[in-house]
Amino acid sequence: MSVMQSGTQMVKLKSGTKGLVRLFYLDEHRTCIRWRPSRKSEKAKIVIDSIYKVTEGRQSEIFHRHAEGNFDPSCCFTIYHGSHLESLDLITSNPEEARTWITGLKYLMAGISDEDSLAKRQRTHDHWVKQTFEEADKNGDGLLNIEEIHQLMHKLNVNLPRRKVRQMFQEADTDENQGTLNFEEFSVFYKMMSLRRDLYLLLLSYSDKKDHLTVEELAQFLKVEQKVNNVTPEYCLDIIQKFEVSEENKKQNVLGIEGFTNFMRSPACDIFNPLHCEVHQDMDQPLCNYFIASSHNTYLTGDQLLSQSRVEMYARVLQDGCRCIEVDCWDGPDGEPVVHHGYTLTSKILFRDVAETINKYAFIKNEFPVILSIENHCSIQQQKKIAQYLKEIFGDKLDLSSVLTGDSRQLPSPQNLKGKILVKGKKLPCSLGADAEEGEVSEEDSADEIEDDCKLKPCYSNGATEHQVESFIRTKLESLIKESQIRDKEDTDSFTVRALLKATHEGLNVNLKQNLDTKESGKKSHSRSLMGNFGKHKVSKTRESVCCSRSGSTGYVLLPAQAWCVWGHRLARRKKTVKLCRALSDLVVYTNSVAAQDIVDDGSTGNVLSFSETRAHQAVQQKAEQFMLYNQKQLTRVYPSAYRIDSSNFNPLPYWNVGCQLVALNYQSEGRVMQLNEAKFRVNGNCGYVLKPQQMCKGTFNPYSADPLPASPKKQLILKIISGQQLPKPPDSMLGDRGEIIDPFVEVEMIGLPVDCCKDQTRVVDDNGFNPVWEETLTFTIHMPEIALVRFLVWDHDPIGRDFVGQRTLAFSSLVPGYRHVYLEGMTEASIFVHITINEIYGKWSPLILNPSYTILHFLGATKNKQLIGLRGLFNKNPKHNSAETSGPYVRKRSIGDRILRRTASAPAKGRKKSKMGFPEATEIKDSASEPVDLKDKEGVVRRTSRSLQARPASMPVDKYLLVGPTCPEDETAQDAKGKENASGKILMQIFK
């Protein structure tokens, strides 16, 4: 560690360059690797937490590109880090230095993985405070003067009077060096600045207005508010010893405000149920009764057209909990099958390397089965090689002869299949003789879903090189991805790639047509400008043909030498078949990949129906209940459209809502969809298997009904958004830390069945991202809580829009009642403080009937209906103005140009005064005769418009007791749900009839 902290001169290898000599060192907290010199300055670092793997020798792609370099392998190593497995390739001057760094990094990584959640939270907090101090210390003298403190206040979104800041500065400045703060003094200053008024009032309410909690008072708080069972004095004493800072308080067995704050901000008071960090669901049910975490084109690190294929991606997704991975197999040189994305320019990796990586990482985090989804495009000879490698490498993991189901018509359970690998692929038909070594099977895999006239295939002519064409495509693809990122981060479907893929091909034609063969120069070209096709396009329901220059009836577009051409014949309507060898077919057990037209009602189990998102969408829209019945017997896999060349993801909710088990997503793409996927599978120890609700496993219901489960009780979530802590400026703010202090508000989105999908939001707090206070209650009713997700989003309000600050998404079933912190993902300190109450409701008056202790004031005070708000005015002299505002107008979705303007205006120049949109504080309840209107956005999500965003002073007092009562539900009628039992073949035929 000391050698690493003192620093080592190493060569940083990069593609296209000879390498850069830099000094690499481990920071004093052992939390990140830094290097200098660097143009990134403070951002030139790799956090140890983000390191995925360290490999020795010259194994990475960058080293392979520099094959001519005379590097000693014992001096080379690679650090893979980040969600996209970026590589840092380093060369030391001698083997001893390389060994020191490799050993040291692996030691640090192991220590972090073994660290408990409390220790990790404390370590990250300490590191954040130290890093904040270092970044504020502009001249690097280890001291902060008052001007540097003021600049830091602005960066941290703190809007305090300069007089107040100077007063705290002077109180913290206790050493002889007056006028500056060292790190210890800064820590005191930061604690003074961070004093939580909301937590202090909460402590007072349970301590009889003392500044500390006794053991008995702490036990009362845990029982009443946090709903902790079996609270013992020993448990309370342990909390005091673990979180209290003052030694005097520890001796007296009391918890002061600083210790109480530490406890409330610890994992013990996180919103996520700690029991869900482990597998806790029944794992003995058939596979079809589980949602299974699934990846699409697992090997890709980026887009579907030009990105790199890496075996490390298999290691990453398997350890992230994915249990169904995809392997696209193609004929490779020297008889060795390769894995890559067909008809594209993605790089190739050996199938054998992929199999070895899967074998190594499949069961490190959990032993539940892995499904290997093989898309076979190989010749018979190389298929036999694939089968040989699978048997050699996986061995007994493929042997399913000992797996007992108890019922031949029922799939085995995840528990029965522990440690096993299932091969999903084509199987030779039973009609073929057992002695036949090969036969024909249908082919409808995702690589062939793309229209033939949009596939890239090599052809030969005179002109530009393959490199020039690839460069052209890369430029256009970067333009596509850049423009797609301009859109609102929460709008996943505003960009369709089909038209842009089409435009890419047409653009190739236009830009290279001068190199066409002279005898074809007279032919009419139907190509259009590439740039004219850029923009937003809606998905067309009809399969459009791509306009392209063709040579007679040959079906080829004549492009330059070593370029890529468009294959013009359309074969989509004709059923394709491929040759399949017996050795590969025999490895397929329980996971036989079939197409809809191949389903027969023979009572067999183990079929996996594969859909593209387009066809699956049609099935969901037309025959949702029949589709759900099919998914009670068999497995269904839904994968992204081949036109999503930027590796964007579709909305998985409609397919989860009808019980589709294998909803395959592009794990290499960050964003809303992957956050939903992560939240869904985190609920069961992130093991990749989540049990479907019982109503999805037996019987049926209409997920699109206004009351899909009338006989079942509903859940009511009463969510009080109290305050925020250390909310940063938007990550894409143009002026970064120099931008204006944010005006935050919180949006909460409920995600699940269509009837449950809605959004609600708080008012805006003006000029305070450090400790804003909202004190607002949002109420939601959930018909099927088992599949519901809750999404917390923080936005920065701006006169012409809003900017995304951060989010956290959780399964509804993982919420813990009481006072909880919601930490925003990817941020060390940023959080929202909330109070959660969950009720079970049956009818309109159930809160009063089930709990007579609720008074009419509790009942009325928690209700958001306008009629009841009007009644509440009879009891309260100063009712809250915001709860009964007139609904604001529905805002139309902005265009790309508007978004660019919004991004530009979101961080005004220094000195420019912000104008706020909103209404003045109301003193009386306005007309409350009408119900609030629920409006649907483009995704069909109800956005409640019962109030508009309002500016609110940050100094508004906090409610002393912060208590919330339940709300009154609407009338619900109870009906008996009758299940419909049909054979799987008949059901599917009805779906596609």
Q: What is the pLDDT of residues 614-635, one digit of tens each?
A: 889 988 998 999 999 999 999 9
At residue 782, the 3 state secondary structure works out as strand
State residue 98's pLDDT score. 93
Among 88, 74, 67, 79, smallest CA distance to 22 is for 88
Q: What is the pLDDT of residues 426-458, one digit of tens each?
A: 998 887 877 788 888 877 655 445 555 445 555
DSSP assignments along 200-260, one per residue: HHHHHHHTTT-SEE-HHHHHHHHHHTS--SS--HHHHHHHHHHH---HHHHHHT-EEHHHH
DSSP conformational letter for 640: -
Radius of gyration of the chain measured on its C-alpha atoms = 30
Higher pLDDT among residues 366 and 855, named by residue: 366
State residue 17's pLDDT score. 67
Catalytic residue among 127, 340, 505, 617: 340
Q: What is the pLDDT of residues 851-901, one digit of tens each?
A: 443 333 343 444 334 333 332 332 333 333 333 333 333 333 344 334 333
Local confidence band at 800 (pLDDT 50, 70, 90 cut-offs): confident
DSSP conformational letter for 395: G
Beta bridge partners of 935: 943
Decide if pLDDT at 926 tops 50: no
Share above pLDDT 90 across residues of the chain, in percent, rounded to a whole number:
41
Q: For the sheet with 789-798, list strands across it.
A: 801-811, 789-798, 744-751, 758-761, 942-944, 934-936
Whole-number Å distance between alpha carbons of 167 and 20: 48
Decide if pLDDT at 824 tops 60: yes
Mean pLDDT of all residues in 39-59: 83
Whole-number Å distance between alpha carbons of 21 and 24: 9
Through-space distance between the first and last CA atoms of the chain, rounded to whole angstroms: 67
Decide if pLDDT at 557 tops 50: no
Q: Which residues of 438-455 are buried (b: 16+ CB within 10 A; e: fewer)?
A: bbebbbbbbbbbbbbbbb
Region of residue 918 (left: phi > 0; alpha: psi -120 to 50; beta: else): left
Catalytic residue among 296, 377, 617, 881: 296
Averaged pLDDT score across all residues of the chain: 76
Share above pLDDT 70 across residues of the chain, in percent, rounded to a whole number:
68
Mean pLDDT of all residues in 96-107: 91
Residue 296 is among the residues annotated as catalytic for this protein: yes
Higher pLDDT among residues 177 and 615, named by residue: 615
Decide if pLDDT at 494 tops 60: no
Mean pLDDT of all residues in 179-187: 89
Higher pLDDT among residues 219 and 449, named by residue: 219
DSSP conformational letter for 300: B
The secondary element (H helix, E strand) that includes residue 357 is helix 351-361
Decide if pLDDT at 77 tops 70: yes
Local confidence band at 812 (pLDDT 50, 70, 90 cut-offs): very high
Q: With a threshold of 0.85, does the pTM exceed it?
A: no
State residue 843's pLDDT score. 56
Q: What is the pLDDT of residues 104-139, one digit of tens each?
A: 998 888 776 666 677 777 777 887 888 888 888 887
Residue 212 is among the residues annotated as catalytic for this protein: no
C-alpha angle 80-314-476 in degrees, rounded to nearest 5: 75
Whole-number Å distance between alpha carbons of 816 and 521: 70
Q: What is the pLDDT of residues 54-75, one digit of tens each?
A: 988 888 878 877 777 778 889 9
Range picked from 299-303, 520-524, 814-818, 894-898 for highest mean pLDDT: 814-818
CA 316: distance to chain centroid? 15
Instruction: Give the residue ranges of DSSP H helices in 810-963.
Output: 846-850, 856-861, 866-872, 896-905
Mean pLDDT of all residues in 767-784: 94
CB distance 502 to 535 below 8 Å? no
State residue 484's pLDDT score. 52
